[in-house]
Each structure stands twice: as C-alpha cells, then as structure tokens.
Amino acid sequence: MLNRLKEFADAKGLTAYALWKSTSLSEPTVYRLYKDPSLIPSGKVLEGLATAFPDTTPNDWLKFDRDAA
C-alpha cells in the first residue's frame, strides 16, 4: 500500500503548503505524507482529506502495490 498524496496534489495543482492549508491536518503530517509515499495515513487523516476534498475517495489518495507490500 502506498499513499498517493503528492500525485493527488500535483493533479490538483496544489503544493504541499496549499494541500496543508486546504485541510484541518497538522503541517508535519501533511508534509511527511507528501514526501514519503510509503507512509499510510491514519483513519483521522483520511477523514480530514475527505472533509477537505468531498468529491474524492480514499482511492484518490491510496494505491495498492504488490511490489511495495
């Protein structure tokens, strides 16, 4: 499992800073997830993303990769 937060932000034209400001999440959490796709967001983080981007689903932020498992 990998997080696709940077890929998601890039597709929306958001920097890590803009992504953080768009959410209720802590700055360190957003930056860590943005920089390291191997980190998996907690349920609380997924809820924060869903609130900030209601037109998206966890499939937009996560990817299953058998090679990374």
In a domain, residue 46? The reply is yes
User: 59 or 69: which carries more pLDDT confidence?
Assistant: 59
Per-residue confidence (pLDDT) for residue 66, from 0 to 100:
81
Domain count for the chain, please give it: 1
Residues in the chain: 69
17-55 pLDDT, tens digit each:
999 999 999 999 999 999 999 999 999 999 999 999 999
In a domain, residue 31? The reply is yes
What is the domain range of residue 55?
A: 2-63
In a domain, residue 48? The reply is yes
C-alpha distances out from residue 32 to 24, 36, 42, 55, 66, Å: 15, 6, 13, 23, 22
Angle ∠(69,48,22) on CA atoms, nearest 5: 110
In a domain, residue 68? The reply is no
Instruction: Give the CATH number, domain containing residue 34.
Output: 1.10.260
